[in-house]
């Protein structure tokens, strides 16, 4: 088994054993048990069509910790999408860099980039998938539970059509976890991705549930997960529809209590609208009356059940491990 030289475009590009290998190395890197610099002299191009905080800093710090170097290319400050095609960009970056990470809107653009690149390409977020987020999330769950994947149950509550829900569903199915998605029917996962997850579950022994009942989804769950109701790049007028559809899918203390699990943990990929201390939080509070959070209440977000900042930190450790496995001439080739 080796990930060396491979690309990661979607969660389905990884097998369970490969995910476990990422986690084994991430554990060593996080604990300091392995202080080697496996990517000495390696260079990463981080291409950002969409803005980023956690993903950007995780990639930038990860490559530096491993002795490498990164260049962040934003659409606003480069020729990307204006005077140079994705195919030409891929060819240029492949001549200069050892790896390419791409964060953009359309998944088809990432596929096009990878098709014309000769170096590993990593999906740092597209409209369909967010694999590095799911890698960090399941790593965090394993840190908390320290048990078999078959004994881990996660309930995602909210907009199930987005990239995070797709990646959580698929990665959980690959690993063998108990994955539930609770969304209104019109906001449930892509049918093709759901069908794919069910097929993967038959192999791994995972359990997959898609429902419009959040109470059914969270019962006996170890983790309750949510994401913003309107994703970045969507029009503000989408809030009218989403709030109407999702008002009963807010993660609040009542919903956590419905798990009947006193040790349940709350998860969120961030940023979260949990109070009115941001421009968007203030706008939603003023327009719709959500003074104490939207997709999650501030009470839950700030509670002892919340492990959202553990997730955020683990973006670094899992991305660092992934980059080593994809591009290290020593560790990656010998796996």
Whole-number Å distance between alpha carbons of 276 and 293: 7
On whether residue 115 sits in a domain, the answer given is yes
Residue (of 327, 318, 323) closest to 5 by Cα position = 327
Cα(142)–Cα(99) distance, integer angstroms: 28
pLDDT at 81: 64
Asked if residue 310 belongs to a domain, the reply is: no
Per the domain annotation, does 1 fall within a domain? no
Query: Do residue 174 and residue 41 come from a single domain?
Result: no
Q: Distance (Å, rounded) from C-alpha 126 to C-alpha 131? A: 9
**Is 145 contained in some domain?**
no
List alpha helices for 212-278, DSSP H: 214-218, 238-246, 253-257
Whether residues 170 and 270 fall in one domain = yes
The predicted pLDDT at position 335 comes to: 65
| φ, ψ at 134 (rounded to 5°) | -65, -35
Do 284 and 175 share a structural domain? yes
Do 193 and 296 belong to one domain? yes
Predicted TM-score (pTM) of the model is: 0.97
b/e map 135-166, b = 16+ CB within 10 Å: bbbbbbbbeebeeebeebbbbbbbbbbbbbbb
Same domain, 187 and 272: yes
What does the pLDDT read at residue 1?
Answer: 67
Same domain? 118 vs 180: no
Closest CA to 55 of 120, 109, 135, 171: 135
In a domain, 84, yes or no: yes
Residue 185 CA to residue 275 CA, distance in Å, equals 27
CATH number, residue 69: 3.40.50.1370
Same domain (yes/no): 112, 252: no
Same domain, 269 and 328: no
Is 32 among the domain residues? yes
Output DSSP code: residue 296.
B
Inter-residue contact 157 to 249 (CB < 8 Å) = yes
pLDDT of residue 312: 98
> Under a CB-based contact definition with an 8 Å cutoff, are residues 46 and 56 in contact?
yes
Number of domains in the chain: 2
23 membership: H or E segment, kind and range: helix 16-31
What string of DSSP letters covers 116-155?
H-SS-EEES--SS--HHHHHHHHHHHHHHH-S-GGG-EEE
Residues 69 and 184 in one domain: no
Q: Which residue has the tokens 């359309």?
A: 106
- pLDDT lower than 50: segments of the chain: none
The answer to whether residue 139 is domain-embedded is: no
Structural domain range at position 42: 11-129+315-334
- Is residue 138, in this structure, part of any structural domain at all? no
Q: Are residues 274 and 168 in the same domain?
A: yes
Say whether both 210 and 321 belong to one domain. no
C-alpha to C-alpha distance for 60 and 64, rounded to whole angstroms: 6
| CA–CA dist 44, 119 (Å, integer) | 10
Looking at the fold, whether 165 and 193 belong to one and the same domain comes out as yes
CA dist., res. 169 & res. 160, Å (int): 9
């Amino acid at each position: 088994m080796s990930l060396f030289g491979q690309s990661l475009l979607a969660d389905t590009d990884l097998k369970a054993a490969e995910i476990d290998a990422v986690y084994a190395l991430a554990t060593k890197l996080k604990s300091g048990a392995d202080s080697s610099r496996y990517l000495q002299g390696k260079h990463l191009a981080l291409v950002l069509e969409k803005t980023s905080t956690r993903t950007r800093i995780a990639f930038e710090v990860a490559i530096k910790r491993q002795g490498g170097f990164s260049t962040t290319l934003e659409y606003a400050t480069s020729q990307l999408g204006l005077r140079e095609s994705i195919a030409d960009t891929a060819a240029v970056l492949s001549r200069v860099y050892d790896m390419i990470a791409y964060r953009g809107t359309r998944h088809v653009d990432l596929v096009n980039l990878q098709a014309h690149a000769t170096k590993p390409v990593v999906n740092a977020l597209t409209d369909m998938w967010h694999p590095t987020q799911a890698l960090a999330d399941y790593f965090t769950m394993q840190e908390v539970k320290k048990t078999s994947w078959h004994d881990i149950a996660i309930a995602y509550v909210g907009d199930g059509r987005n990239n995070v829900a797709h990646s959580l569903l698929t990665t959980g199915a690959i690993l063998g976890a108990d994955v539930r998605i609770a969304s209104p029917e019109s906001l449930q996962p892509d049918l093709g991705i759901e069908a794919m997850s069910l097929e993967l579950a038959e192999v791994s022994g995972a359990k997959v549930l898609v429902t419009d009942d959040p109470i059914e989804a969270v019962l006996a769950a170890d983790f309750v997960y949510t994401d913003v109701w309107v994703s970045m790049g969507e029009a503000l007028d989408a809030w009218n529809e989403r709030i109407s559809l999702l008002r009963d899918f807010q993660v609040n203390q009542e919903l956590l209590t419905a798990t009947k699990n006193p040790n349940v943990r709350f998860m969120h990929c961030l940023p979260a609208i949990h109070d009115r201390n941001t421009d968007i939080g203030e706008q939603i509070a003023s327009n719709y009356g959500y003074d104490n959070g939207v997709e999650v209440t501030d009470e839950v977000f700030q509670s002892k059940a919340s492990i959202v900042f553990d997730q955020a930190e683990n973006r670094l450790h899992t991305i660092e491990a992934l980059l080593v496995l994809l591009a290290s001439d020593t560790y990656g080739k010998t796996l």
